[in-house]
Amino acid sequence: MSARTRNRLLMAVVWLFLLLLFLPVLVVIPVSVTDKSYLSLPADGISFEHYGSLTDPAKGWVPSFRNSALAAIATAIMATGIAAAFAVGAWIRSGWWPSAVRLLMLSPLIVPPIIYAVGMVRVLSKVSMLDTFWGVLVVHVVLSLPMAFLAIAASLANLDNRMVTAARSLGARPITIFGRVILPNIAPGLAAGAFLAFITSWDEITVTLFITARHFVTLPRRIYTSITDSIDPALAAIAAVLLIATMAVLIAQTLLKGRGARAGSAK
Amino acid sequence: MSSRFERFALYLTVPAGLLVILLYALPILQVLGLSLTEGQGAIANYERLFTSRAVAGVVQTTLAVSISTTVITMVIAYVIAFGMIHMSDRQRKVALLMVSIPFWVSVLVRAFAWITILRSQGVLNSGLMSIGAITEPIQLVYNRVGVTIGMVHYMVPFAVLLLYANLTDIDRRVVQAARSLGARPVSVFLRVWLPMSLPGIAVASLFILVFSLGFLITPALLGGGRTLMIAEYISVQISNTGRWDLATSLSAALLIVVGLLLALALRSPAMRAAFGGSSK
């Protein structure tokens, strides 16, 4: 076997694996336009009636969508604010306290969420906040802090602290330095942090599954119930909507980055 | 030196500190506490973890599925990541999209897609039956096979992104040097690439193993109640049977296992570097 055939063979395996990763999720798109009333590939033509059933008030998809959007926006605002304040504070001042808080804050990235879920069921039931917006918000903020913090801290790492020194030596008050020197310079990090916090909340299911029931149902919670109760094509429709939205964002981002890189190299 | 500015910086860390202590650390400590006081007390609760046959079955399933998931994931992910660093820029962009789309799509959408494909009236079985390859549907979901397929599919994008970052950091001049000294491609791979990517492999395997051990959603949906892993077993104890003693002692045991794995990993200098690098 020549070196060339071997390389081709290796690349064929690589693309095969990539297809196995990518193609299975696409199956929800053809299934969502099936003309049958049960989960199947379209047989004699396509139909969009399952998308129509998403707006059926009896099925509760619309309120769950609204609840998820509400929780995700509130989470993004709170988590970005808290993470930004902490990131800046820890950037200026080191010591045991910021290190300990950072360690705790990043723990949800690795500690299995089921353990946190068990703890929060007890805590929220004690204060009668199970199945409420506020209960969900608190949990989602805690779970979004790691990603928001990492995005903001990455942005801060590129900030030249001589700017802060200059502002201090010119007599700027701390709040002015924070608001007019630091924050504007980490705006991209804040935006990335808010976006990641939004996505974390929007997608969160493990802990939400335990702390919600009927009153405050988020979209993932609604999808989960639907998968376990009755698998119907409406589920494929909502899955296809989520998949296409994700793909649109990622493809747009890839294209924009490509354009930026080309424009940069042309200079 | 504690100037006004430094005090201000300290105040900025207070909201985050209070939040993670009161609403993250304490709830988890409370789980540990409850595992000692619920039911018939600490000794009975922890003794049961070693004597109960139901728990033994769940632990065995969890370990078997998690370890096979980690091994299969690492092989597939390494092949993809290794291929990606040898691609043209254009191909790599396409490959990255094919990894990031499943990475960002909701875990529920992915589990649902696999159910659609694998169940007995699903896309795969009906396809195979219509071409006559099989006469009876094969049981591919609601068992260990289905859970493992779903979990590997969930973990591979993570592992690829971790390994790809690690492989791009490897100094390509070492590879060129090995080649110019006449090393055959197989020895270049086994004696240059593989040893230099070991830290990345170790970090990625650790993450995948820890994620797998505590994974709830995919095993619950693709296991259909028949392949019971520890997270789902805990959730059944809370939601259905109200056995807080069992739920909290299992959670505590899971936390201890994850903690031990991390502590063990951090003893190796390569792992410390990998984790230290991401903290600031």
Chain B closest-CA separation from residue A55 CA (Å) = 19
Residue of B20, B93, B218 to mutate for A, most A C-beta atoms under 10 A: B20
Q: Is residue B59 part of a domain?
A: yes
Chain A residues near residue B98 by CB distance under 8 angstroms: 18-19, 21-22
pLDDT digits (tens, 9 = 90+) for B219-256: 999 998 889 999 999 999 998 888 999 999 999 999 99
pLDDT digits (tens, 9 = 90+) for B12-65: 999 999 999 999 999 999 999 999 998 888 998 898 899 999 999 999 999 999
Q: How far apart are CA A104 and CA A124, in angstroms?
A: 20
Average pLDDT of chain A, as a whole number: 91
Q: How far apart are CA A168 and CA A156, in angstroms?
A: 18
Q: For residue B87, give the CATH number of its domain.
A: 1.10.3720.10
State the DSSP string of A234-248. HHHHHHHHHHHHHHH
Q: How far apart are CA A243 and CA A233, in angstroms?
A: 15
pLDDT digits (tens, 9 = 90+) for A169-228: 998 899 999 999 999 999 999 999 999 999 999 999 999 999 999 999 999 999 999 999
Query: Angle B57-B216-B209 (CA atoms, 0-180°, nearest 5)?
Result: 75
Minimal Cα distance from B83: which residue of A?
A14
Q: Is residue B116 part of a domain?
A: yes
CB contact under 8 Å between A27 and B95, yes or no, is no
> B93 to each of A19, A252, A254, B90, how far by Cα in Å?
14, 12, 8, 5
- Indicate the residue of A24, A145, A246 with minimum beta-carbon distance to B16: A145
Quote the domain boundaries for residue B243.
54-279
Average pLDDT of the segment spanning B199-217:
94
CATH number, domain A61-216, options 3.30.9.40, 3.40.50.150, 3.40.50.1820, 1.10.3720.10: 1.10.3720.10
Task: Tell me what pLDDT residue A266 has.
Answer: 43
Q: Judge whether A17 and B79 are in contact, CB under 8 Å.
A: yes
Q: Domain residue spans in chain A?
A: 61-216
Minimal Cα distance from A238: which residue of B?
B109
**Range scoring the smallest mean pLDDT among A79-88, A171-180, B98-107:** A171-180
Q: Judge whether A187 and A213 are in contact, CB under 8 Å.
A: no
Chain B closest-CA separation from residue A57 CA (Å) = 22
Q: Is residue B94 part of a domain?
A: yes
Tokens representing B24 are 């993250």
Minimal Cα distance from B19: which residue of A?
A142
Average pLDDT of the segment spanning B3-12:
89
pLDDT digits (tens, 9 = 90+) for B144-172: 999 999 999 999 999 999 999 999 988 88
Chain A closest-CA separation from residue B103 CA (Å) = 10
Chain A residues near residue B217 by CB distance under 8 angstroms: 205-206, 224
Residues 6 or more apart whose Cβ sits within 8 Å of residue A198 = A72, A73, A75, A76
pLDDT digits (tens, 9 = 90+) for B121-150: 888 998 899 898 898 999 999 999 999 999
How would residue B2 be classed by pLDDT, with cut points 50, 70 and 90? Answer: low
Q: Is residue B177 part of a domain?
A: yes
Chain A closest-CA separation from residue B161 CA (Å) = 13
The number of domains in chain B is 1
Q: Is residue B100 part of a domain?
A: yes
Q: Judge whether B116 and A31 are in contact, CB under 8 Å.
A: yes
CB contact under 8 Å between A88 and B12, yes or no, is yes
Check pLDDT > 70 for residue A119.
yes
Query: Angle A1-B82-B149 (CA atoms, 0-180°, nearest 5)?
Result: 100
Q: How far apart are CA B147 and CA B218, in angstroms?
A: 7
A73 reaches B (C-beta below 8 A): no
Average pLDDT of the segment spanning A125-147:
97
Q: Is residue B45 part of a domain?
A: no
Q: How far apart are CA B126 and CA B132, in angstroms?
A: 10
Task: Tell me what pLDDT residue B179 has.
Answer: 87
How many residue pairs from chains A and B have C-beta atoms closer than 8 A? 251
Check pLDDT > 80 for residue B277.
no
How would residue A60 be classed by pLDDT, with cut points 50, 70 and 90? Answer: confident
A231 reaches B (C-beta below 8 A): yes
Task: Tell me what pLDDT residue B103 has.
Answer: 96
Task: Tell me what pLDDT residue A261 has.
Answer: 57
- DSSP class of residue A94 equals -
Q: What is the interface pTM, i.e. ipTM, of the complex?
A: 0.92
Q: How far apart are CA B143 and CA A120, in angstroms?
A: 30
